[in-house]
Structure 1
Amino acid sequence: MSRRYDSRTTTFSPEGRLYQVEYAMEAISHAGTVLGILAKDGVVLAAEKKVTSKLLEQHKSSEKVFQLSGNVIAGVAGLTADANSLVNYGRNAAQKYLLSYDDDIPVEQLVQRLCDMKQGYTQFGGLRPFGVSLLYAGYDPHHGFQLYQSDPSGNYSGWKAICIGMNNGTATSLLKQEYKEDISVQDALGLAARVLSKTMDTTTLESDKLEFAVLLRDTKSDQPIPHILTANEIDRVLKQHELAKTQEAGSSNAMSVDA
């Protein structure tokens, strides 16, 4: 029955469904896990990288986490090419706002602009929905730290903790059990690492398979501080929470440790 209605994004099935949007959601469910946690002093994003190679330049080949503006970081799950297009659109929107008003764009306003674009691709013929879902970690003076999620239909919602991508059901259950209202960024990093250790296919976590980002706030200037963690910083987080890959005897000193 679906074949009569899934060739165009503008055709509803008799049940009122848009199959192309559902197909895009299915593509996201097979992507690497991405989760976000809203803490009392910041926001944490963590993601599983599917494409790993020692030949990749880590700082020039981000797959899951992108900085959209000075106050917003995004994590993506789905088709990377679609994500790159949306990331560029979001960056342009943020810079236009900054040029016009000399201030960072409000987080929800940036989310709305991206979702308006995503919804438009489900409304006109000759287009297909973006096969990507995004998490937005942001800060503005009016609403403080915020965490949003959007899907291919253009719908978005605010969350305290959320997971998208593969095994999101398992991750969401773990977040429900362990999330606390007064959680700190450091504890949120540990919680994110523990959840990923349960949802990833591998039994050990390594920095080249993960991407972490945090959004903090300078208490003196009230300005947001976005930061995407380096491989060494991810290794320290994993070691701190006893999730790092166990090294063989005789090579324990091979990894540098920065106190």
Structure 2
Amino acid sequence: MSRRYDSRTTIFSPEGRLYQVEYAMEAIGNAGSAIGILAKDGVVLVGEKKVTSKLLQTSTSTEKMYKIDDHVACAVAGIMSDANILINTARVQAQRYTFAYQEPMPVEQLVQSLCDTKQGYTQFGGLRPFGVSFLFAGWDKNYGFQLYMSDPSGNYSGWKAAAIGANNQAAQSMLKQDYKDDITREEAVKLVLKVLSKTMDSTSLTSEKLELAEVFLLPSGKVKYQICSPESLSKLLVKNIANDSCFETVAALVESK
């Protein structure tokens, strides 16, 4: 029945659904997953890379993590060409605000402005929705550290922990069980790697398949956005995988007794 109503973005079905928007969300569900966790001293973002060629220059290209302004970054799941357009739009909006008011743009205001653009592409004929979801991580003087998730419909919401992309429901369930309100950035990194190791399609986690970024405050009070280098990520993976294997071994011994 949907075939009568899914040829136009602006046509509602009798059930009140916009099928083109739902199809865009399905496209995101097949993309590499991304997870964000809000800690008391920062925000942690991690993403699964689908392009893992040995010829790829990882020092100059990123697939999942993008810096929007000095105080805001995002993780992406979906069609990367769509994401590039929206990220450039957000960067321009952030710089215009800074130029006009001589201070960084509040994180939620920036997210809302970008989501207004996304919503417009679900309302006017001749356009298709952007096939991309974002996890925005940032800090401002009003609300401190913040994590927002947005989808192709233009909706956005604030989260303590969120997952987008492939297997996001399973990841969300694990985050709901293990997340604590007083979690630190170091604990958030461990949790996000644990969740990704259990929900990722790949059999093993390697630094070539992941991107990890953090937003935190320096002692000087300046906001710092930092992407974890492949070498540091490899060390983190070795450390956390070792801890997990020890824990599972102990749990198995307890159960056997």
Normalising by structure 1, we get a TM-score of 0.91
Measured in 1, the distance between the counterparts of 2:133 and 2:127 equals: 17
2:107 matched residue in structure 1: 107
Q: How far did residue 232 of structure 1 move? A: 1.1
Measured in 2, the distance between the counterparts of 1:120 and 1:77 equals: 20
Gaps of 5+ in 1: 245-259
Residue 116 in structure 1 maps to residue 119 in structure 2: no
**DSSP-derived class of the 2:74 partner:** strand
How does 1:150-229 map onto structure 2 within 5 Å? 150-220=150-220, 222-229=221-228
Q: Deviations over 1:164-204 (max 9, x none)?
A: 11111110111111111111111101111111101112222
CA contact (8 A) 1:37 1:192 kept: yes
Measured in 2, the distance between the counterparts of 1:43 and 1:151 equals: 20
CA RMSD between the two structures: 1.2
Measured in 1, the distance between the counterparts of 2:175 and 2:150 equals: 19
CA contact (8 A) 1:43 1:138 kept: yes
Gaps of 5+ in 2: 244-257
**DSSP-derived class of the 1:14 partner:** coil
Residue 239 in structure 1 maps to residue 242 in structure 2: no
Q: Deviations over 1:94-140 (max 9, x none)?
A: 11111112211100011011100000000100000000000000100
How does 1:14-25 map onto structure 2 within 5 Å? 14-25=14-25
Give identity over the alignment, percent.
59
1:55 matched residue in structure 2: 55
**DSSP-derived class of the 2:241 partner:** coil
Normalising by structure 2, we get a TM-score of 0.92
How does 1:21-100 map onto structure 2 within 5 Å? 21-100=21-100
**DSSP-derived class of the 1:58 partner:** coil
Deviates further, 89-98 or 151-160: 89-98
Measured in 1, the distance between the counterparts of 2:123 and 2:7 equals: 14
Measured in 2, the distance between the counterparts of 1:90 and 1:19 equals: 26
Measured in 2, the distance between the counterparts of 1:203 and 1:2 equals: 37
Measured in 2, the distance between the counterparts of 1:233 and 1:101 equals: 38
Measured in 2, the distance between the counterparts of 1:196 and 1:36 equals: 11
Matched letter for residue 97 of structure 1: Y
4+ residue runs over 2 A deviation: none
Matched letter for residue 40 of structure 2: K
Q: How many residues align?
A: 243
Matched letter for residue 231 of structure 1: P
Matched letter for residue 170 of structure 2: T
